[in-house]
Amino acid sequence: MKIDSSYRPTTPGVTPKAVPAQATPTASATEAVSLSQLAASSHGMEKPPINSARIQEIKQAISEGRFKINPEAIADRLIESARDLVNSGSNRNA
């Protein structure tokens, strides 16, 4: 079987156009953003507390080869986390 190389597309190729710098939206001095009370109250809770001593202890154990990984505990916590996510999602839809 021979492939015919005489095929020519009937539509021109599409080339992306550059967006002019003037077309990009910019914020003006009169625009403002406000947070709901829930968003404002949760804003400070974005970062979990950091236990620097525990981090150093784990780093030391890893470097000394004493750090043991417990795959069963990891799997159990992943499943628990997934259940919490599913349950919290179904509570919102109810």
Q: Quick one: the chain helix, strand, coil %, rounded to 5?
A: 50, 0, 50
Domain ranges of the chain: 52-94
Contact predicate 67/61, CB 8 Å: yes
C-alpha dihedral sign at 65, 70, 74, 80: negative
Give the whole-angstrom CA distance, residue 71 versus residue 57: 20
What's the token pair of residue 91? 């509570």
pLDDT at position 65: 95
pLDDT band at 57 (very low <50, low <70, confident <90, very high): very high
Quick check: 67 and 58 in contact, CB under 8 A?
A: yes
- The pLDDT score that the predictor gives to residue 11 is 57
